[in-house]
A and B are shown apart, each in its own frame.
Chain A
Amino acid sequence: MTDTATRPEHGPSAGDPLEVAFAVNGTAVRAAVDVRESLLDVLRERLALTGAKKGCDHGQCGTCTVLVDGRRVLACLTLAVQARGRAVTTVEGLAAPDGTPHPLQQAFIDHDALQCGYCTPGQIMSALACVAEGHAGDDEEIREYLSGNLCRCGAYPGIVAAVRDYADSARSTEG
């Protein structure tokens, strides 16, 4: 049985829009997309979620990093239709409803882990996953596991400090 939720019985012909349903930051969304469209373009151009950025569109910079079902992926190399039924988390979904930043976002502020800010949403989504994966054991490991996110401003030392700080407090909270 093929995935009937997303396509008619005999498959669409090339160029037809396809309806895709997934969740973004806890909210169900449904969009008719061109199958060629990336998840990144759908987030940015159709859903007005411009936090995820386009820096290369070829998986070489990490500015478009989002979480899909909790795992960090590149939205530019994800077909929007591949996200069907998935839970997507973008940087807009991290702060509390009252605007209080997520502790990792606060750590980025505290350590001035940014300059122009363009790569920052991707850095933060990547760092969140990095810590969750257990790859923030020491500075060297943080550097390695955040090397998929380029920062041309060179804010790497601050980023490492912020992630270390957040990882330490997350560990101590876990007890």
Chain B
Amino acid sequence: MSAPTGRGSDARSGPGGAPVPRIDAYEKVTGATRYAADRTPPGLAHAALAVATVGRGRVARVETAAARAVAGVLLVVTRFEEHELRPAGYRLSGGYGFQSLQPLLDDRIAYRGQPIALVVAETPVAAAEAAALVEARYEAAPAVAVTLDAAGAETVGQAAALPQPMFADLAMGDADAAFARSPVRLDAEYDIGAQHQVPMELLGTVVEWRGDDLVVHECTQNSGAVRHGLARQLGIAPARVRVVSPQVGGGFGQKTWLQSHVGPLAVAARRLGRPVKLVVDRTQTFHGSTFRPASRHRLRLGADRSGLLTALVHETRQQTSRHDLFASDFTSVTARLYGIGDFRGHQRLTRTDVQTPGFMRAPFEHAAVFALESAVDEIACATGHDPVALRLANDTGSDPVTGRPFSSRHLAACLRRGAELFGWAARTPRPGSMRAADGTLVGWGVAAGAYRASAGPAVARLRLAADGRIAVEVSGHEMGQGLRTAIARTVALDLGISAGGVRVGVGDTGEVPQHLTAGSWGTATALPAVHAALRRLRSCLGAPDEGPLDTVAAAAERAAAGRPEAVVEAVSLPPGQSARAVDRLRAGLPTPAGPEYPGFSAFSFIAHFVEVRVEPAIGRVRVPRVVSVVDCGRVASPVTAAGQIRGGVVWGIGAALRERGEPEPRHGGFHHADLAEYLVPVNADVGRVDVDFVDVPDPLVNPLGVKGCGEVALVGVAPAIANAIHHATGRRHRALPIRVEDVLAPEDDRNGNCP
């Protein structure tokens, strides 16, 4: 592969322009930003949910008299009629819901925490009081299965259960034979517990009927799916539904599909003739939407004595629900992180009594790369090679799956630059050989990561107002990743104007069609549409195709000529997609392309370097510093991209050391369902995080050279931490999270040796 020519720019000096601060920061620091639940239309009523207390079975009877008797209660619904509410369908079956099951339509209970009643009242306290008074009698199943190993959990092969090419098992060469003849072999199993996205914003919805039209303020990363899903549920035309989601208080995958409380809320609002708000109780959010399912990975990784990786067999098992198959895709990243010619993957799904799991930041890559990068570290130890050098030696310029080139791949640059910034050369390889001044064990670990560079179709509409200001409406959602800033900066750099003068609208189905904004494709999807719209605007104004454009003068000229404001619209498509993808976009259906495009494959890459301090006597692990270097193509918005990477590192600390979705094996559901028990990192858990970008435009994925960065930021953090702990203590940890009891030295001999 060619050496990168990156500028090594820091976050505040992106190429081709001055740093652009987050354009919506002022509103956010002054409390002016309105999130969905901040809406208080006149006449607003408040809703609450009552949920099932058994893990599986059916509701025999729901007693609502006490709830109805509460002062201020307007409505208690335990069952909606089929003519007023239909299922929205599961997203993998052409529907719009995060799961196929729509609560409050029948008596089935599939998981603890499933709604059994919707209460609407004049005030939030009255609604909550009444919901707590709803009592149900159940016919509970004798047992529930909520873990991968539970009796009664059923395991199916994914390729057989979902016979579509995208779910097929990957195989190149003869991995089993190659593994068998490899001189160095590792055969290990890795466990990754369930996790919850827990964005700080609670699931919140305000629904309001305006005549026959429904307006929904919803915190969602996918207002298009909410619109079309609601239209299907309510039996009305999608044009009658407007979903508005301009600012989301964190998504991380939790808000990617229609939540099952929204349809019931819309029916309740119609019955009452009043707007209704529901803010889902935090504990209920642990069952009211998706989660990262538990997964188990068996890796057989072979190498020769020189440290060249020769074979990889990656067999996986992932939790899904009893009622839906949430397909996994662990192997498309492990097959490509290194140039391993002989690869075999096999993916299975285990049905359990939970709500259907779903996407959570780096949905498969986080777990898959934890397994692979832990194993690679073991190979480095076993062959006596430096972990960075071994990774560099196994780099590849072409995609092992397709044989075609990567559009760009600067993983080696990430590793080299990271090692330099971190001071890796000072590392002594023997575990337990480095100590801090206070006597704690020091461990340095490294891991790489990759994430597919996807993109989809998008629509952008640009308007040049009479005062010369530019307004742009784009397909996409702002969850804090900085999409609006990247859009404003793109417009500003193109026209030579100030980013502050660009008004950016996103997430509103009343403006342009809205896609699912996830999978790190948001920026690479929206910016090409903005880019195309800018070309249209220039053409419409008779301006040259590039160079500064005096928008004030252009607007004045148009006004003087008696012409209306200039409004242009453009549609963009990623390489290889046809106009049919735009039809899917307009229907609220997912349309991402990648990582395989005609003639090339596209991924973002990252290298993380981590220092840990370990006190084995009490099981304490701290992470005082991390260095992360990213190849995400051209950095579209340096300030917000750096924030994304730092946030991904914090997520990695949480995933490696803190967070564990705890299924209750006898009662079903998740037990640690609040923010005191489900432990996300606090400020004191995070030390110094240094971020750098290779910042070389990708020549193929889109005209702006932009790949994604939000997901890849997390990929590899957890194994870098686990590898660092091994370096500190000599002990391998193959299950996440790594907690006090895991690190607690079993006896005084705490410095193990390399395997």
Contact = CB atoms under 8 A, between A and B. Distances in A.
B249 to A, nearest CB: 3
Contacts of B676: 58, 60
B675 A56 contact: yes
Interface in A42-80: 44-45, 48-58, 60-61, 63
B321 to A, nearest CB: 24
B31 A92 contact: yes
A115 B200 contact: no
Interface in B291-319: none
Contacts of B689: 157
Contact of A121 (B25, B31, B251): B31
Contacts of B684: 143-144, 147
Given A108-B25, A109-B25, A58 B30 contact: no
B245 to A, nearest CB: 12
A118 B201 contact: yes
Contact of A117 (B33, B202, B281, B649): B33
Contact of A124 (B29, B46, B250, B640): B29
Interface in A97-146: 101, 105-106, 108-110, 112, 114-121, 124, 142-144, 146
B511 interface: no
Chain A, interface SS category: loop
Given A116-B200, A116-B249, A153-B647, A54 B37 contact: yes
Interface stretch (B157-165, B344-352, B430-438, B478-486): B478-486
B79 interface: no
Interface in B462-517: 479-482
A17 to B, nearest CB: 10
Contact-residue bracket for chain B: 35 or more
Nearest to B35: A118
Given A58-B676, A116-B201, A156-B683, A41 B124 contact: yes
Given A55-B200, A116-B250, A157-B688, A152 B680 contact: yes
Contacts of A37: 123-125
Contacts of A56: 202, 282, 674-675
B28 interface: yes
Given A91-B30, A116-B248, A53 B201 contact: yes
Interface residues of A, number: 60
A94 interface: yes
Contacts of B481: 115
A15 interface: yes
A120 B29 contact: yes
A53 B249 contact: yes
Interface string B655-697: 0000000000000000000111000111110101100000000
Contact of B252 (A90, A95, A112, A152): A152
B643 interface: yes
A150 B654 CA distance: 12
A50 B646 contact: no
Contacts of B199: 116, 118, 152
Contacts of B647: 115, 153-155
A24 interface: no
Given A54-B202, A118-B200, A150-B675, A112 B642 contact: yes
Contacts of B686: 143, 154, 156-157
B40 A48 contact: yes
Contact of A57 (B21, B28, B34, B282): B282
Contact of B282 (A58, A91, A144): A58
Contacts of B648: 154
Interface in A140-174: 142-144, 146-160
A120 B24 CA distance: 12
B29 A105 contact: yes
B31 A91 contact: yes
Given A55-B200, A153-B250, A92 B71 contact: no
Contact of A55 (B29, B202, B480, B650): B202
A55 B613 CA distance: 32
Nearest to B70: A15
Interface string B620-664: 000000000000000000011011101111110000000000000
Contact of B200 (A53, A95, A148): A53
B683 A147 contact: yes
A34 interface: yes
Contacts of B683: 142-144, 146-147, 149, 151, 156, 159-160
A119 B71 CA distance: 33
A116 B27 CA distance: 11
A30 interface: no
A50 B38 contact: yes
B43 to A, nearest CB: 13
B22 interface: yes
B23 to A, nearest CB: 10
Nearest to A144: B684
Nearest to B285: A56
A155 to B, nearest CB: 6
A101 B31 contact: no
Contacts of A144: 683-684
A36 interface: yes
Nearest to A106: B29
B247 interface: yes
B379 interface: no
B268 interface: no
Contacts of B51: none
B740 interface: no
Contacts of B38: 44, 50
Contact of B31 (A36, A57, A90, A152): A90
B117 interface: no
A120 B26 CA distance: 11
B198 interface: yes
A142 B688 CA distance: 13
A148 B683 CA distance: 8
Given A90-B31, A156-B650, A150 B680 contact: yes
B279 interface: yes
Interface in B31-80: 31-35, 37-38, 40, 46, 71
A160 B682 CA distance: 12
A50 B30 CA distance: 11
B675 A92 contact: no
Interface in A22-46: 34, 36-37, 41, 44-45
A154 B642 CA distance: 11
Nearest to A61: B675
Contact of B28 (A15, A114, A156, A160): A114
Contacts of A149: 683
A157 B684 CA distance: 10
Contact of A153 (B37, B126, B643): B643
Interface in B2-17: none
A155 B381 CA distance: 34
18 contacts: A34-B126, A50-B35, A51-B30, A51-B31, A116-B201, A116-B247, A117-B28, A117-B29, A117-B480, A120-B31, A121-B31, A147-B684, A148-B682, A150-B680, A154-B647, A155-B646, A155-B647, A157-B689
Interface of B: 21-22, 24-35, 37-38, 40, 46, 71, 123-126, 129, 197-202, 247-252, 279, 281-282, 479-482, 639-640, 642-644, 646-651, 674-676, 680-684, 686, 688-689
The 5 closest A-B pairs by CB, nearest first: A51-B31, A154-B650, A116-B480, A118-B249, A117-B28
Given A45-B124, A155-B646, A158-B646, 5 more contacts: A58-B674, A60-B676, A121-B31, A153-B480, A159-B683
